[in-house]
Amino acid sequence: MTDLPLKDKRALVTGASRRVGRAIALALANAGADLLIHYHTSSRESDLLAAEVLSIGRKVDTIRGDLSDPAQIANMLSELDRHEIAVDILVNSAAVYYPTPPGSITAETWDKIMAVNARAPFLLSQELGLKMKARKSGHIINITDCNLRRPYREFTPYFASKAALSIMTETLALELAPEVRVNAIAPGTVLPPDDANEEFTAQATRRSPLQLAGHPEDISEMVVYLVTHGRFITGSNFRIDGGATIR
């Protein structure tokens, strides 16, 4: 492996300005990739990340879009075409996640969660994946959820959307092979919610057979591994959860 295995490659990371998406973007940049930072409302965080990527010595652009709106996704893709920007690596990291107790789930709520977490990754993967296929090379990484094996209450639309993204990983791997590899990473607790206390992290550590707390870098390192070393891997969904789901 060279010092910059992704030199001259361009990566688009959705939801890149915050949390796990940010760690993924920085890991790809440190591996040599130029970046397209997607954001919706986090413009300040996006600008700060772009400055950090520039300081590493990589090219970077930011691209804004509401992933619940197909028209805005189409505009994003048109913008890439207009500037003749080829995407070699697509990481579908953006997601919406909030409680939806039974009785509170409206058609609008269901559609919004499915649109961002499942439809948007498909629309981006279809358009960019076919272009990767035509260029004979490319990688798509979807971020799912390790708790698909053990879903919990009050998140039915969220888990339905992530289940759709998980099976989509397999079908797109078939459709885009052999030129494009499509895989998924299913994180466990690698970053506590913004309002979490110390006990939340302690509980997450106790649930892990490894007795370790997860970090965003555990996910970002796997992303880099898959796009640099995973020549015989496609259609797979890797649980990165410290073993929590096997307890």
Residue 159 within a domain: yes
Domain assignment of residue 1, yes or no: no
pLDDT for 1 beyond 50: no
194/128: higher pLDDT:
128
d(CA 115, CA 72): 12
**Residue 48: domain span:** 10-242
Confidence of residue 204 (pLDDT cuts 50, 70, 90): confident
The pTM (predicted TM-score) of the whole model is 0.95
Whether 219 is in a domain gets the answer yes
Q: What b/e readout covers 123-150, taking b as 16+ CB neighbours within 10 angstroms? A: bbbebbbebbbeeeebbbbbbbbbbbee
Q: Rounded to an integer, what distance in angstroms lies between the CA atom of residue 5 and that of residue 46? A: 25
The arithmetic mean of pLDDT across residues 220-242, rounded, is: 97
**What percent of the chain clears pLDDT 70, i.e. is strictly above it?**
96
Burial 210-232 (b: 16+ CB within 10 A, else e): eeebbebebbbbbbbebbbebee
For residues 49-68, give the mean pLDDT: 98
pLDDT class for 193, splitting at 50, 70, 90? low
pLDDT at 196 over 70: no
Region 221-244: mean pLDDT is: 96
Grade residue 191 by pLDDT with cuts at 50, 70 and 90: confident
At 227, the pLDDT band (50, 70, 90 cuts) reads very high
**Catalytic center residues:** 158
The mean per-residue pLDDT over the stretch 137-143 comes to 98
Q: Which of 112, 140, 161, 120 is nearest to 234 (CA)?
A: 140
What would the pLDDT profile of 93-135 be if each residue is shown by its tens digit?
A: 999 999 999 999 999 999 999 999 999 999 999 999 999 999 9
Q: Is 158 contained in some domain?
A: yes
**pLDDT at position 197:** 62
Asked whether residue 107 is domain-assigned, the answer is yes
In a domain, 247, yes or no: no
Residue at 5 is within a domain: no
Asked if residue 169 is part of any domain, the answer here is yes
CATH of the domain at 62: 3.40.50.720
pLDDT of residue 166: 98
In the structure, what pLDDT confidence band is assigned to residue 2 with cuts at 50, 70 and 90? low
Q: What secondary structure letter does DSSP report for 243?
A: T
pLDDT for the residue numbered 199: 74
Query: 129 and 90 in contact (C-beta within 8 Å)?
Result: yes
Q: How many domains does the chain have?
A: 1
Mean pLDDT of the chain: 94
Q: Taking residues 217-240, what's their average pLDDT? A: 97
Q: Is the pLDDT of residue 49 over 60?
A: yes
